[in-house]
Amino acid sequence: MRILIGNDDGIFSQGVRSLANALAEDGYEVTVVCPDRERSATGHSLTMHQPIRAEAVESMFHPAIKAWSCSGTPSDCIKLALGALVDRMPDFVLAGINHGSNIGTDILYSGTVSAAMEGYIEGIPSVAFSLASFTLRDFAPAVTFAKLMMKQLSDRPPREPMLLNVNIPPVPIDRIAGVTLARQGVRRYTDVFQKRIDPRGKTYYWLAGEVLEEIDDEPGNHSLPIDAMAVAQNYITITPLQAKLVCRSTLTQMGDWEWLEKLSIS
């Protein structure tokens, strides 16, 4: 079973080493292609106007792992790997384990989720893994679950490409409440741009702020919790995602707009 792993925390991050080494020890054929530095919150950006460089990385990973450090974005890493670095297409594309959660609308900015989505766009089942803490250094519970999930996916291969977003709470494994499918919520921040002056007297701004609230934008009776609230209750959450962003309810509302019929372009 061939696995390609990327991330947005960079090739030197503890999360990707923990995940890649554990899967290699389990017998998977693992390839790692990650940014050469942290590229968090880059979304699905691609490098178009400058070259992308990739250098082989040795000694940091399990001896069986082939690894590259890439000058591009998380999405660049997966695209480059699939187009130029791997000899055969992987069976799965993984991203992470990310340092910090990727829940709610944060996934729109997430380089981790975008790296996994690049695999999904290419028709490969893909999973983004995130540990819901920026400070915790114990990736063991997240690795344990990732190994269980990959065994499940290997034993029961998806009938069609899927994209799964997985968040693991930052607690010891004996405190994890369980595993649940979850809906994507809405996360809002108190955005603050701090105005500062650099040593040359030029003004610059630094984005700061904190989470203001977690919103369930689909209130009512639902069998699935929203991701942020479930993680806060120490559940591992799995949220299926897709690349299509079309809003079908808005399409329905706009169906009877008069100008759609009257306007003609010749």
Could you identify the residue written with the tokens 């696995």? 3
The type of residue at 44 is H
Query: Which pTM value belongs to this model?
Result: 0.89
- Three-state secondary structure along the chain? CEEEEECCCCCCCHHHHHHHHHHHHCCCEEEEEEECCCCCCCCCCCCCCCCCCEEEECCCCCCCCEEEEECCCHHHHHHHHHHHHCCCCCCEEEEEEEECCCCHHHHHCCHHHHHHHHHHHCCCCEEEEEECCCCCCCCHHHHHHHHHHHHHHHHCCCCCCCEEEEEECCCCHHHCCEEEECECCEEEEEEEEEEEECCCCCEEEEEEEEEEEEECCCCCCCCCCEHHHHHHCCEEEEEEECCCCCCHHHHHHHCCCCHHHHCCCC
| Residue-wise pLDDT tens digits, 225-247 | 889 899 999 999 999 999 988 88
d(C-alpha 54, C-alpha 16), whole Å:
17
Sign of the Cα pseudo-torsion (12, 15, 18, 20, in order) = negative
2-183+221-252, what's its fold? Stationary-phase Survival Protein Sure Homolog; Chain: A, (3.40.1210)
Percent of the residues in the chain that have a pLDDT greater than 70, as a whole number: 90
At 210 the pLDDT is: 65
Mean pLDDT, residues 157-186 taken together: 93
Q: Is the CA virtual torsion 34, 40, 41, 42 positive or negative?
A: negative
Tell me the one-letter amino acid at 190: T
Give 191's pLDDT tier (boundaries 50, 70, 90): low
Give tens-digit pLDDT for 5-36.
Answer: 999 999 999 999 999 999 999 999 999 999 99
Domain definitions of the chain by residue range? 2-183+221-252, 187-215
**pLDDT tens per residue, range 67-80:** 999 999 999 999 99
pLDDT of residue 144: 96
* pLDDT above 80 (res 187): no
Residue 45 CB: number of other CB atoms within 10 A? 14
Tokens 């460089």 found at: 53
